[in-house]
Each structure stands twice: as structure tokens, then as C-alpha cells.
Amino acid sequence: MTSLSYVGEFVKNNDPDRFLLSLFCDASCREALWAIFAFNHEISKTREVVSESTLGLIRLQWWRDEIVKIYDGNLTQGHEVLTALNSAIKEYNLPQKYFHDLIYAREFDLENVLPSDMKGFVNYCDFTCTPLMRLAIIIAGGKPDNEGVQDIAINYSIAGLLRSVPHHAKQGRAYLPENLLKETGISKDELFSFQKTKETASIVESIVKSRPRSLKTNHILLKSSNILADIYFKQIQGQKFDVFSSKVQVTPAFKILRLFIRTKYLR
């Protein structure tokens, strides 16, 4: 078996779901997909790797500056993600705007505040995922302004955020709508200490039931992304929306097989 490139191995280890989705795309575009997915992981982990918000802003600004350098033809040498990103940008003429949108969206993570309501929660999912999905669609031969891109990106992001509630809580972070927490009588401290899991489940249920529906597309990357999100939603629902359940944190049964069958054979 051919060994993976640096970014391929990086995405496989750090963002395995997007790595899996890339395998449904033509082999010729996978390196570029892995490049943008590696970049996305680098900026998305900022909150986890800095001790204070100022350092996080400096880190994000570094990435912003490096993106500008690539478009100006002044690639910083010796950084494997940047090198792969440079190749992807040049080969597919990727819009610079989407990279800056993703970096800007990650500044919210440093503010240590919750989305105020469901609209804010959906906006966070949109801003942190849709630009990446648009870049991926360009690479995979689709149209980034396809009307299904935004809803499918939001769906995918919601599934990921809900499954990450325990992980974020351990870090003292939360992205559930603040108004729903207050209405349910849950404080951030109770959420962070894994108390009131039944009450949290009612919030998760509301989010799952209000997510975008009836999303149909023939584009392989969009289709597989949406089906994978649906597999996770069914897993969460199967645990009565208790995202703190250990069964939500494990890989769904036959995930890859289910994804393959539904992506390849279902319309």
C-alpha cells in the first residue's frame, strides 16, 4: 500500500471522519482535500493549545498572514501544511476569502462565551464549517454556491458539536445555546461537571429536531457528508439524546459499511 503524505497522515490521525469522506472522492484531488482539512484542524485547535485568548489571536493572525503570503507568492518554506496548501490553492484557484472566513470564525472560540440562542448556534456551525465545505467542493469538482452546501455543512457541524459536548465540557467550553441552558435550569458549572445530563438531553433533542432536513444532492462529497451526519444523529437519538452516554462516544456500529452502502446506492 502506498504510504500517505504528511497531510494525509495528519488528517487521518486528527480528523478521521473528513479523511474517510475524502476517500469517496477521486484520488487525484485527495491531496488538496487533505491540505485544506489539515489547515482547518490547525486553526480549530487554537483554543486548546493556548493558555490565554491573546496568544490564540496571535496564532490565528500567524495563519492569516501565511495565507496572504501564499497568495502573494511568498510561501514560507519548511512548513508541510503550508506547502500542501500552496499546491492546492494554485492547482484549484481556491478563493482566499474562504480561508480568512474560517480563521475569523475561530476567534469566537477564544471569547469563552456561549452562542446566545439557536440562531447563534447555527451561525457558529455555518461560519466554522461552510467555507471549508465550499473549498472542498471546488476541489472535488462541484459548485461552491450550490444551495445544498450550506445546509449540509451546518448539519455536519451540528453532529460534530453535539458529539463533542463532553470533550468541550472537560476543557471548560460549551457551544449549546445559552438561552436553552437557562430555560432548562442548567448552569455552565453543572454542564462542565457532567451534572443534569437528562436536562442536557432535552436541549440536544431540540437541536437535533430543528436541524436542516430533506437535504438531497448527487455530489459525492456532499452526499457522504450528509449521510455520515445522519448516522451520528441516529446514534444520538438511540441514546435518547444523552450525549454524555459512553455509547455516543464510540464509533457507530458498521459506520463505514453503512456510509458506503448509502452513499453509493441510495438516492
What CATH code is carried by the domain that includes residue 234? 1.10.600.10
* Percentage of the chain lying above the pLDDT 90 cut: 87
Residue 253 has a CB neighbour count (10 Å cut-off) of 9
Angle between helices 30-44 and 6-14 (to 10 degrees): 50
Whether residue 267 is contained in a domain is answered as no
What range defines the domain where residue 66 resides? 7-94
Helix (H, G, I), strand (E, B) or coil at 51: coil
Q: Terminus-to-terminus CA distance in the chain, angstroms? A: 32
**Looking at the predicted structure, is the pLDDT value of residue 71 above 80?**
yes
Percent helix, percent strand, percent coil in the chain, to nearest 5:
70, 0, 30
What single string gives the DSSP state of each residue in 145-168? Answer: T-HHHHHHHHHHHHHHHHHTHHHH
Which has the higher per-residue pLDDT, 29 or 2? Answer: 29
CB 60, CB 156: distance < 8 Å: no
Q: What is the mean pLDDT of residues 208-229?
A: 90
Quote the number of domains for the chain.
Answer: 2
Cα separation, 59 vs 66, whole angstroms: 11
230 lies in the same domain as 196:
yes
**Looking at the predicted structure, is the pLDDT value of residue 267 above 70?**
no
Whether residue 242 is contained in a domain is answered as yes
80 lies in the same domain as 208:
no
142 lies in the same domain as 239:
yes
**Looking at the predicted structure, is the pLDDT value of residue 51 above 70?**
yes
Task: Look up residue 107 and give its DSSP letter.
Answer: G
Among 59, 94, 129, residue at a domain's last position: 94
124 lies in the same domain as 181:
yes
Number of H helices, E strands in the chain: 15, 0
Instruction: Give the phi and the psi of residue 217 in degrees, each rounded to 5.
Output: -160, 150
Question: What's the pLDDT score for residue 266?
Answer: 61
What is the pLDDT confidence band of residue 215, given thresholds at 50, 70 and 90? confident
Whether residue 129 is contained in a domain is answered as yes
Judge if pTM exceeds 0.85.
yes
Question: By C-alpha distance, which of 154, 104, 146, 149 is closest to 129?
Answer: 154
57 lies in the same domain as 175:
no
Q: What is the mean pLDDT of residues 164-174?
A: 93
**Looking at the predicted structure, is the pLDDT value of residue 198 above 80?**
yes
**Looking at the predicted structure, is the pLDDT value of residue 1 above 60?**
no
Among 50, 65, 94, residue at a domain's last position: 94
**Looking at the predicted structure, is the pLDDT value of residue 207 above 70?**
yes
